[in-house]
Structure 1
Amino acid sequence: MSVSELAAALGVRTSTLRHWDAEGPAVPGRVAPRAARRYAPAQVRDARIVQQLRRAGYRVDQLRALMPGLRHGRGPDDVRTVLAVREESIAARSRALLDAATALNAVLAAANGA
């Protein structure tokens, strides 16, 4: 697939795919150094995985660390470790947001004389 074909299939901009290429999580093949980017089936799969993980909130730098393991069959425990760290980060951020909401609610209630 070309960059524009894959971008249309994923519902992302071509610049997004170029960014993923430059940063490393989803790298297409090229016939020659200055040739157009072409995505083979395995590279399309990688881009789909990156897209889904980006939607889930993963940053590109995190995906740069995670994707080689998925591509090269690194043990599932390694991938689980990376995902567990991300899950804990999300949980900690969620707890912090709930604490902040509780504190804000108290301030607003006091300001309204409740």
Structure 2
Amino acid sequence: MRPVDLAREHGLSTQAIRNYEDAGILPAAERTVHGYRTYTPLHAQALRAFLALVPGHGHRTATSIMRAVNRGATEDALRLIDESHGQLLDDRRTLQAVEVALRDLAPVAAERGDTFIGPLAGRLGIRPATLRKWEDAGLVRPRRDPRTGYRIYGAADVRDARLVHQLRRGGHLLEQIAPLIDQVRSAGGVAPLESALREWRGRLSARGRAMLRGAADLDAYLCARERGGGPSP
């Protein structure tokens, strides 16, 4: 098969096919005496596997998986897949944490236990600069110590920072999070929050289904390699 034969099935350019081969996504092609690439059904199966992996795992991870398979390192490929599934599980747990946090949504009474930017950033596993960026966007509103000018985060500020952190992990942009934080602060209803959580849950479900489809095509490619005598793991 020619590059155009592979490209046509998926609406790709012939240059994309050559790029995929150069990147190790496809196994190396044989060359004619005139230097033209020739591909086989095995290459077609590799391309289908890669394109099926991308929606669930992302382009970078899908590329790493295919490179590992094509060099015969199947265990490395399976480890990458496991790590990607682990991240999906973490994201599901994060979503559950947000749902639990919003279940008892109510105005926050004044409490003791103020903290500063460094300890709060460390608790969240982010940089202080990220908290300052969220402050610039109006997502957190620490008060300032009148003598030192240091930021002081009260209980409500810590809650807002935690919620922003969770929503950012869920793929929300800062401008999407802002109205949700305002809703939390006012405790005037949870409809916008429920809508955002439904969309987040939908994205996670779609990613999980995409991983299943990618696994099926990758397994078909692995079987084709075994039948065709490709490098063994």
Q: TM-score range by the shorter chain?
A: 0.7 to 0.9
Instruction: Tell me, yes or no, if structure 1 residue 51 matches structure 2 residue 161.
Output: no
Q: Which residue of 1 aligns with 2:153?
A: 39
Structure showing greater radius of gyration is 2
Work out the number of aligned pairs and report it: 111
Structure 1 residues 18 and 60, CA, compared in 2 at 3 Å: closer, same or farther?
A: farther
Instruction: Tell me, yes or no, if structure 1 residue 25 matches structure 2 residue 139.
Output: yes
Counterpart-to-counterpart distance in 2, 1:23 and 1:94: 32
* Kept in 2: contact 1:29–1:39 (CA 8 A): yes
Please report the TM-score for the alignment, with normalisation by the length of structure 2.
0.41
Q: Percent of counterpart pairs with the same letter?
A: 37
Structure 1 residues 17 and 81, CA, compared in 2 at 3 Å: closer, same or farther?
A: same
Give unmatched runs, 5+ long, in structure 1: none
* 2:159 partner amino acid: R
Q: Report the 3-state secondary structure (helix = DSSP H, G, I; strand = E; otherwise coil) of the residue aligned with 2:151.
A: coil
* Kept in 2: contact 1:30–1:37 (CA 8 A): yes
Give unmatched runs, 5+ long, in structure 2: 1-114, 229-233
Structure 1 residues 74 and 85, CA, compared in 2 at 3 Å: closer, same or farther?
A: farther
- Counterpart selection for 1:97 from 211, 224, 229: 211
Report 1 or 2 for greater relative contact order, CA contacts < 8 Å, sequence distance ≥ 6.
Answer: 2
Structure 1 residues 7 and 105, CA, compared in 2 at 3 Å: closer, same or farther?
A: same
Counterpart-to-counterpart distance in 1, 2:222 and 2:164: 41
Q: Report the 3-state secondary structure (helix = DSSP H, G, I; strand = E; otherwise coil) of the residue aligned with 2:143.
A: coil
Q: Which residue of 1 aligns with 2:198?
A: 84
* 2:139 partner amino acid: P
Q: Report the 3-state secondary structure (helix = DSSP H, G, I; strand = E; otherwise coil) of the residue aligned with 2:223.
A: helix
Q: Which residue of 1 aligns with 2:177?
A: 63
Q: Compute the RMSD of aligned alpha carbons.
A: 2.6
Q: Report the 3-state secondary structure (helix = DSSP H, G, I; strand = E; otherwise coil) of the residue aligned with 1:5.
A: helix
